[in-house]
Chain A
């Protein structure tokens, strides 16, 4: 049963520290998404990759956030420096484009981040 994995599951850090979140997409998937979920804003798309190339990061604060895919099995989301307002659950999702429509996204369990 293939799944998206994310590490760490929980992270508590102090304001100003760097935070790195990692995601392993499902083998064979060619799209990766990063989302942020908060009570106030709901689910927000931060970044989207296809075939490891960033296609959309318009939802991401550019001054402190960065997203990369160093290889097909690893996606990273970094926050530097972190701020209390970054506290949220960060989800990674992967999928496979087919052009036929109806492509499903498979979500990881999330990283719960608390910035003090």
Chain B
């Protein structure tokens, strides 16, 4: 079956530090990959996505590249801000008619001034 593994949190960084949150996946076929972000007290919202190998998703300074050879989709940002403090979820959606998304367990990021 499908699975997503992401690094355990919490991750605590100083403002302007470089961020990497690792994500690896197991899936059949050619899944689409996502990063969702959840701010305190809110639902998840899409941060970025990639639908095929070697695609790079980017948004708000965050980037992730779909690496089929290493089955990874690591999230990076060059300079984090306090406002980036949130929980980040890696997720995959298998191709085909069934729209069930498999989510990772989430990684909490705390950015301190």
Contacts and interface: CB of A to CB of B under 8 A. Distances in A.
B43 interface: yes
B99 A43 contact: no
Nearest to B102: A45
Contact of B43 (A93, A100, A101): A93
B51 A102 contact: yes
The interface residues of chain B, by DSSP majority, are classed as: loop
B89 A104 contact: no
A113 B50 CA distance: 34
B93 A103 contact: yes
Contact of A104 (B30, B34, B41, B105): B34
Q: Which 9 A/B pairs are nearest by Cβ-Cβ distance?
A: A107-B43, A102-B51, A102-B32, A107-B44, A101-B32, A101-B51, A42-B105, A104-B46, A43-B103
Given A42-B106, A43-B106, A101-B51, A56 B100 contact: yes
A91 B44 contact: yes
Interface residues of A, number: 26
5 contacts: A55-B98, A101-B95, A103-B99, A107-B43, A110-B42
Given A56-B100, A97-B99, A99-B97, A43 B49 contact: no
Interface in A16-46: 31, 33, 42-43, 45
Interface string B50-75: 11100000000000000000000000
